[in-house]
Structure 1
Amino acid sequence: MLPFSDDELNEPVEVVLDKLRPSIMLDGGNVTLIKIENGKVYVRLEGACKGCPSSNLTLKHGVERQLRLDIHPDLEVISIN
């Protein structure tokens, strides 16, 4: 269980996503936060990232990894299409 509420996660998650966006945008994509529920961060990959074969790697080894490092190791990222 996380030591903070989903509402308390909104701002720190957006800060991490803002940090990652420039790299994602270099490949013609973007990432949008949809919601946070029970410690799960729901995002949508957009642009060139949408449907890209490497999108799962971007989510798990990029976005989720950074959220776990910067905020809490139990966070999980889930893609919404």
Structure 2
Amino acid sequence: MRERVEAILDKVRPMLQSDGGDVELVDITDSGVVQVRLTGACKGCPMSQMTLRNGIERIVLKEIPEVKAVEAV
């Protein structure tokens, strides 16, 4: 599953990088929670939670039904 999540993050990465940010996969828990770290401009951005929920999480949940949630760590 890790490779599938990485492939999806690679799809959203250009959007984040165009604003000076990025995302990295930290872990996938046994309960199906994908843990990511927002970096660069995304790290302190007030819109980062919206980016996480409406962008990254929405796409990951759609593409990989086994994933239950995406959270920033």
TM-score of the superposition, structure 1-length normalised?
0.84
Checking the alignment, whether the CA contact within 8 Å between 2:22 and 2:42 is kept in structure 1 is yes
Residue in structure 1 matched with residue 12 of structure 2 by the alignment: 20
Checking the alignment, whether the CA contact within 8 Å between 1:64 and 1:75 is kept in structure 2 is no
Q: Which runs of 4+ in 1 moved over 6 A?
A: none
What is the Cα-based RMSD across aligned positions, in Å?
Answer: 1.1
Checking the alignment, whether the CA contact within 8 Å between 2:34 and 2:67 is kept in structure 1 is no
Gaps of 5+ in 1: 1-8
TM-score of the superposition, structure 2-length normalised?
0.93
Gaps of 5+ in 2: none
Greater fraction of residues in helix: 2
Matched, 1:47 2:40: yes
Instruction: Provide, for residues 15-37 of structure 1, a one-character-per-residue CA deviation record: whole Å limited to 9, x for no partner.
Output: 00000000010110000000000
Q: CA deviation at 1:14?
A: 0.3
Number of residue equivalences: 72
Q: CA deviation at 1:75?
A: 2.5
Residue in structure 2 matched with residue 31 of structure 1 by the alignment: 23
Residue in structure 2 matched with residue 71 of structure 1 by the alignment: 64
Identity %: 47
Partners of 2:68 and 2:60 lie apart in 1 by: 7
